[in-house]
Every structure is written in structure tokens, then in C-alpha cells.
Structure 1
């Protein structure tokens, strides 16, 4: 086996697709029986839509029921604040698409299944690494039939912010903290409700309302570690502020029966100082857990996967050794986008979210339209849309009979860096 990937989230699924498409034998392990998790992010930004377009999947993904957001906005007690406009971005993908992540992952893994080198193992939980000669040579996993091993030239941990394989590799993330956690729940969407997803801010309260076509996915922010206190105060301690923040939900807030109807996302921001060991690599949340601020976690994870495939697909296909110095190059490429994005998230957390939750900030004092400030408008639109370093698919669909390999491709679409990937055959 050339590559085994633990974790069927955005990073793992996209990397598996890209490698299988490039002629690499790859096994993807997902510990759950399906991809249905409400707390998974579903904000598909223009950078990811561009990657899907390069893979010929954009039309299929956009056929799914979804909402498009062109102008991210914040709603205060005194009106709306338009944060930026993505309509100024070039190309057809000048919006954020809200698509349930389980549908997105199903399409990605179904696309990967078209290639003979791909294997998906559901209900298969990776729990340890195989080490030989000072290097990782695969992983151990358990499923309903017992414990098993998969040996591979490269083992990738894409198993999330609580990564077991990261721990087994002795890699410990640096923690940066967050002032809030998030309570997730859903209520029905009805005719006459707002169409767009938005952030609602008031003194002492903040929440995100995500329009998922038939229902609202709601994220109510609470002070860090405050869920037990909220539960102790009773269900009305959640119902009343939600109804006050979003009055249009007043006729259905009673459908929130209690805390059995919610899930809690413990918000963390962290990143590894070192993403790799010989034969082993962390990507996505296993390498850097992102705050929900800007909704970019899924997009950073996919950029990691694209960069990894661009750099390693040829060597994995040919069986050439992958020195740890090559894995270090991958980390160096993806570290700057991680650091800059997390720094921006921490600024928003400290200056807006923490102060709003502590009633130390009046959001009504914000300017009404930040997109009217030209330099700021351009910067925020590109940041929301593309991130710091958007990646593009530089691998080519591999035809073994024709002997096609990884092509050289210069990136730069969507404002990214111009970087020529090496030809690795």
C-alpha cells in the first residue's frame, strides 16, 4: 500500500481522491458508519469551489440543495453591518456555498471510488502506528471484526483535532485558547424568514444563523467552559436569548425541547510545531485546529490536501522514497496560511467575541458598510474567498497504460502565489 489515511473528513477525503486520481494506491479509514455529523462545517469558499472545478466536481456539488452567500454580514440591535462583498472576486465563484458536509464528503469519496486504487473502510478506527527502523510504516485499526494492520509508504493523520495518531507519533500542538464554546441546534426554516446566513451580535450574546434550505443550523456562543452553567439554569436560559436575538424564530423556539437536542463544540485554536515524522504526516485539524471564525476550517484542510498531493503523488505512485525533508517542505508551504489565518481569528475572538460576551463592547457602534472602504474591501474579500495561499490541483489523472505522470503546473488563479511544482515521476 502506498498511502493510508486516517480520517474521512475534508482533508482525508480530498487527499484520498487526489492520490487515487493520480494512480496511487490509497486506503481511507473513517471510524463512523457515515458522514452525518451536524457540527461539521459546511462553508465551501471560492478557493474550494475552484479546486472542485479543477477536478470536474463543481457542477455535481452545486446541484445539491444549497444557499449562496455573496455579502457576509453582521446584524446588531440597530441594524446590519456589511463586512465585505465577494461579488468583486474574479471568476464564477464569487460566493460562499453552504452545503452540508456529509453531502460534500459523499460526493468526494464517490468520485475517489471511480479509481481502482482507492479503498474506503467505514467503521474503522485507527488507534496506533506501525514503526520499523525509526520510521512509521503504517497503522493499526479496529473494526467490528477485530484488530488489523495496514502497511504503507506514507501514513497520514487526518483524524481531527483530537487526533489519536498525532498523539502516538509524539506530536503535541501548541494551544492558543479561545474565549467561547458553541452550542449547536436546529429549528425549522419557514417562508418569510431571512434568506442569508448571518452573524447576530448583541451585548452579552452572539450567534450564527446558517440557512440550510429546510432548517436553520444555529450556533449560540457561550463563554468558554460555560455549558454546565447553562444546563443548570434550565432550557429557558437558551430559549429566551435565542428568541430575543432572532424574533422570527419566536413561533418555533418551543420546539427546542432541552439540552438533549443540542451538541457542543469546544472551540480550540492550536497548531503543531512539527507536522511530520519519517513516513508520517498530519494535515487538516490534526495539524492545526481552527476557530469557527470566518468558517474557513474545511477550506484550510482541503488546501492542505491539495498541496500534499501535488508534492507527493508522483513519488507515492512510483514507490520512490519520501524523505522527511520533503514532508518538511509541505509543512513550510502550509504553515504561513495557518499562522496568518489563526492570528486573524484570534483578533476577532479577542476584540469582538470576548468583549461582546462580557458586555464590554457595543456592536451598534460598528460602521454600517465596511465594504465601502476600497483597500479594506479588496483585502477582506480576498481573505474570505481565497485565504492566504490558495492551492490548485497540479496532479493529472493518471492512465497507467499511457504512463502519464504528475504535470508541472504554475498556480496563481484567484490571487495565489505563483509556484511551479516539480515534475515527480
Structure 2
């Protein structure tokens, strides 16, 4: 049977960052990722300012900035009668952390994987899906897995960390219970072409509100990543109406993109996201810790899920690396991680719930169409909010710094 100090289940942002940090501490760590690569569309693609600062502290800033990316400078929405109202301007934050980087998540994960692979105590096992937990006397002692080729195996570890997302198999296997909050919408992601004449820096995210629905566009080099928001339970209606009606809805919301909605060839081109908002009451049992979406599923409102998950990973590494090096991780250590990361989770989820009630519930219930009046009022008359909102989104409550054992001198990108 294979053995390791820590086995991390899930090769997303939290899992890969935790693996890198623990390996830099000298902990023997193995990350299991069920897919063969990181190339999957419509995952969160924002790298927030506090995460960019963390990357600089790890000595990786120059290499990170060489990756394909664009900079998000503001959040704005169309004003009635024309023009734009800026709700948040990231340029007001302290440089050089005054923007959010937009990049395909696979590039970011490959970057973390390459860096972690330089550490002799790090192992990444692709196409390895965790299937169950192993126990000894009531304590979690490892995981069983199955490979894509069909072989089965097990890894014994001093600690198992679940970073396997909002539908975490491990948190279910451990019997951990969550507190769930109502969410009024689901999201359908898809692509539309971006023409050469439209190239340039990303100035901001501009949502468009309709009569009972909304859409948002994220800029990529040669396409727009579109998110269509509709009420919970609207999936059957969307499917029954067919692709032509869906194109009409997008064209009505974004007339400037109506000339390319035919790029949605069928409803199979849509990627449905079942939006959830929950958090575990307890993030751990003896020998197992959940972080990131496995501990707290976040709404896409504000796009903060990745950042919060990475901050969890940093806090977990800082607390647990010394204990892992001595092979004596206690329940008290795991509880300390939850105590540190629960307050920022609660704050962000409370803000998201407020956004749901103020923006989406009236929109989807038919009580309002178009942009919320309060957003218009705040955007026009409270310029101080343009500083508060960007800090909440880009930095977040209780941002974490790289532990001393993980810091390195800045190095030049390799050619």
C-alpha cells in the first residue's frame, strides 16, 4: 500500500495550492485528480489581487505574469438612457494589486502543477478518482481510488484533505452535514466569437439585465465567455423552447452581440451550473479536513469562490505543515483551520445572499426588469462604495499571506 504524509483529493485551485505549499515545507504530499488534464471549460477564471500577492510572496510573480491573461479593472452596468455606471473600480486599490487577472483556469492549474513538481516531496496522480475513505479505530487513515484504466489502489496518509468541490464525495462519506441557503438562479455558460476588431484590454464586467433573466460576458482573446442567468428550475423550459428561442433571449439582452448568436448551434453547447450556496457546520473529522468548495459552495455572485478556496489552502498549510512533519495532526489542528476560515466564509456568503435578494429575486419574480435601482443610486451618489466593493471582491476579508517556509526569491520566467 502506498503511503504519504498528506493526500489531497481534487486538483483544483485549493488542492494544487495546498500541495505546493506543503511540499515546500518538506511534507510528503500526493494530489489525486480524477481527470487526465485540467482542460475543462467554464470553470472560474478569476485570480484575485490577494492571490496575485500570494504568488509574488512565493517568488512566482514574474512567471505568473507571463501567462496569457487580461486585467479586470472595474465592475459596471448599463445606465438607463445610455452610458455606464461604475459600481467598483479596482484601480483605486494599492498597486501593484489593483486588478483581477482573468485567465483560463487550466493555465493557472498547469502553472501550479509545474511549480509543485519541482519539489521532491510532491506527487500528482492524474486519472485517479478517490472512491472511499479508509478508517482505523474511527480515524480516517487514507483513501481508496480507481484509475481511468480500471485499476484500484489505496493510499495511507497522516491526513486526508478534501478539495473535491461542491459535490464532494469525501464529505458525504464522512457524514459531514451542511447548512444550505436558497439560491434563486442557475447559470448556463457558453461561448460567442470575439472579432479581431474587438481586441484590447478588458475594461470591466458589464452585466445586462432583462425581463426575468440576465447575462454577463467575460472577455477572452478570441471569444466571449457568456453566462446566462435564469430562475431555478428554468432548465426544462429552456430545453423545451429550443435553441432558436435561447438565441433570441441572448440577442435581446445583448443586441451588440446579436450578429453571432448562431455560434450556439444547439443546447448541447450550453454548460449548466447548478448554483449552490452552503457551508459545512463542521469541516473535519479525525484525519480528514474539507476546504474550498468541499467545505463551502459559493454562488458565482462576485466571482470570489476561487480566491476563498486558495486562502483556505494557505491557512491550512500554515497550521498543518509543522504537525504533518511530526506525523501528529490532531483534531484540534483541524478545528483551528475552520476557526480561522469560517468568519470570511460567513461574511462573503452573507454578502452573496444579500445580492441574491436585492438583484436576482426581484428580477426573476417579475417585480423588476433592468438594473436594480439601488445599484444605480449607489453608483451615482456614493463614490466611496467604488472603493469598498473592489476591496471586498479583490482582497476579501482576512486575506492570507504565504507562510515563511513556502517563500522563495523571485525568479525569472523560463523560456
Match of 2:99 in 1: 95
Match of 2:394 in 1: 385
In structure 2, what is the Cα distance between the partners aligned to 1:141 and 1:398?
32
Could you say what secondary structure the match of 2:242 adopts? coil
In structure 2, what is the Cα distance between the partners aligned to 1:257 and 1:145?
35
Q: CA deviation at 1:236?
A: 1.8
Match of 2:376 in 1: 367
Per the normalisation by structure 1, the TM-score is 0.90
Per the normalisation by structure 2, the TM-score is 0.92
Please list, as runs of the form range in 1=range in 2, the aligned pairs for 1:24-43 lying within 5 A after superposition: 24-43=27-46
Which of the residues 69, 86, 89 maps onto 1:85?
A: 89
Match of 2:161 in 1: 156
Could you say what secondary structure the match of 1:234 adopts? helix
How much is the aligned-residue C-alpha RMSD, in angstroms?
A: 1.8
In structure 1, what is the Cα distance between the partners aligned to 2:341 and 2:120?
30
In structure 2, what is the Cα distance between the partners aligned to 1:142 and 1:65?
34
Which of the residues 174, 177, 193 maps onto 1:169?
A: 174
Q: CA deviation at 1:381?
A: 2.2
In structure 2, what is the Cα distance between the partners aligned to 1:183 and 1:76?
25
In structure 2, what is the Cα distance between the partners aligned to 1:48 and 1:370?
27
2:358 is aligned with 1:351: yes
Match of 1:4 in 2: 7
Change in Cα spacing, 1:206 to 1:275, as seen in structure 2 (3 Å) is: same
Q: CA deviation at 1:46?
A: 0.4
In structure 1, what is the Cα distance between the partners aligned to 2:67 and 2:258?
29
Of 346-355 and 56-65, the range deviating more from structure 2? 56-65
Match of 1:415 in 2: none
In structure 2, what is the Cα distance between the partners aligned to 1:368 and 1:38?
36
In structure 2, what is the Cα distance between the partners aligned to 1:238 and 1:174?
34
Could you say what secondary structure the match of 1:343 adopts? helix
Q: Unaligned stretches of 5+ in structure 2?
A: 409-415
Q: Cα deviations across residues 392-422 of structure 1 (Å, max 9, x unaligned)?
A: 11141499xxxxxxxxxxxxxxxxxxxxxxx
Is the Cα–Cα contact under 8 Å of residues 358 and 372 in structure 2 kept in the other structure?
A: no
In structure 2, what is the Cα distance between the partners aligned to 1:84 and 1:202?
22
Match of 1:264 in 2: 272
In structure 2, what is the Cα distance between the partners aligned to 1:15 and 1:371?
42
Match of 2:262 in 1: 254
In structure 2, what is the Cα distance between the partners aligned to 1:77 and 1:256?
29
2:187 is aligned with 1:182: yes
Change in Cα spacing, 1:398 to 1:226, as seen in structure 2 (3 Å) is: closer
Q: CA deviation at 1:203?
A: 2.8
Q: CA deviation at 1:157?
A: 0.5
Is the Cα–Cα contact under 8 Å of residues 314 and 402 in structure 2 kept in the other structure?
A: yes
Of 91-100 and 390-399, the range deviating more from structure 2? 390-399
Please list, as runs of the form range in 1=range in 2, the aligned pairs for 1:42-121 lying within 5 A after superposition: 42-75=45-78, 78-79=81-82, 80-121=84-125
Aligned residues: 398
In structure 1, what is the Cα distance between the partners aligned to 2:407 and 2:131?
32
In structure 1, what is the Cα distance between the partners aligned to 2:223 and 2:129?
32
Q: Cα deviations across residues 194-230 of structure 1 (Å, max 9, x unaligned)?
A: 8443222233221110001211000000110211110
Which of the residues 334, 338, 349 maps onto 2:341?
A: 334
In structure 2, what is the Cα distance between the partners aligned to 1:213 and 1:372?
35
Q: CA deviation at 1:76?
A: 5.0
2:287 is aligned with 1:279: yes
Match of 2:413 in 1: none
Match of 1:409 in 2: none
Match of 1:403 in 2: none
Is the Cα–Cα contact under 8 Å of residues 157 and 283 in structure 1 kept in the other structure?
A: yes
Q: CA deviation at 1:314?
A: 1.6
Please list, as runs of the form range in 1=range in 2, the aligned pairs for 1:297-316 lying within 5 A after superposition: 297-316=305-324
Is the Cα–Cα contact under 8 Å of residues 58 and 407 in structure 2 kept in the other structure?
A: no
Is the Cα–Cα contact under 8 Å of residues 313 and 395 in structure 1 kept in the other structure?
A: no
Could you say what secondary structure the match of 2:207 adopts? strand
